[in-house]
Amino acid sequence: MDIQKIKELTKHYLSQEKSGHDWLHIQRVVTNCEQIIKQIQEPINIQVVLAAAYTHDLLDDKLKAEHLLKEEDLRHLLEQAKVPQKEVEQVLTIIKKLSFSANLIEKQTLTLEGQIVQDADRLDAMGAIGIARTFYYGGSKGHILYDPKADSTASPSILSKESYRQVRNVRQHFNDKLLKLKSLMNTKAGQKMAENRHQLMVDFLQAFDQETLLNIEQSS
């Protein structure tokens, strides 16, 4: 398996992506994977972890159309990088089961390799970088920062991927997803890494809500 080739091909597709699911995001997820792996004693197929980490967003429909691949395209990419067929299937299974929206109704079963990539990806949705990415993505979709008429501290009922995507203010996304991630970590290493990032978001939102509440009170 040629991990360097996978890295180069992924960079080609995502270096111009402007949704927060870009090449820099991929690099951070890979780094998170490497940090988690160092703390796990069980046998791990590290190449499968890295292949999935590098390519995990290439099928994500949040990408702009010109950067989004079809499954057959991703298979071809992995084959170009000399990934054995068995491991191609492992990587694709991880990618399909990885996302938060894929686990809304029922938690997907992941291998240890998949759990590592999922934790690493979720860590990049938390903390300072997670806050920045959330507002960056919301802006790219034309979402408002917050809705002064809505109680953003109470997450609405989310029964499907469609209802999860319906919320159109960025503040709500913290309650719908980001504040839940700490309790959803698979690995002990991921849980530990999530603690400070979670607290940073809590502190930020406390200040954010105080400032927006003051503004609402003054304008009412």
Q: Which residue has the higher pLDDT, 145 or 155?
A: 145
Q: Assign residue 127 a region: left if phi > 0, alpha if psi is -120 to 50, beta otherwise?
A: left
Choice among 94-98, 127-131, 185-189 with the minimum mean pLDDT: 94-98
Question: What token pair was written down for 80?
Answer: 């170009």
Q: Helices 3-14 and 46-55, interaxial angle, to 10°?
A: 10
Is the confidence at residue 50, as pLDDT, over 90?
A: yes
Which residues neighbour 176 within 8 Å (Cβ) at sequence distance 6 or greater? 155, 156, 158, 164, 167
C-alpha 90/C-alpha 113 separation (Å) is 9
CA angle 143, 144, 147 (to 5 degrees): 130
Residue pair 69/77 in contact by the 8 Å Cβ criterion: yes
Q: State the pLDDT confidence band at 16, using cuts at 50, 70 and 90.
A: confident
Cα–Cα nearest to 174, from 209, 142, 218: 209
Other beta carbons within 10 angstroms of residue 112's beta carbon come to 15
The mean of the pLDDT values for the chain is: 86
Choice among 109-113, 155-159, 168-172 with the minimum mean pLDDT: 155-159
- Per-residue burial over 157-196, b if 16 or more Cβ lie within 10 Å, else e, is ebeeeeebeebeebbbbbbbbbbebbebbbbebbeebbee
C-alpha 41/C-alpha 145 separation (Å) is 43
Q: State the pLDDT confidence band at 62, using cuts at 50, 70 and 90.
A: low
**213: helix, strand or coil:** helix
C-alpha 5/C-alpha 14 separation (Å) is 14
Residue pair 126/194 in contact by the 8 Å Cβ criterion: yes
CA angle 41, 118, 154 (to 5 degrees): 130
Enumerate domains of the chain plus CATH numbers: 3-219 (1.10.3210.50)
pLDDT recorded at residue 39:
93
Is the confidence at residue 211, as pLDDT, over 70?
A: yes
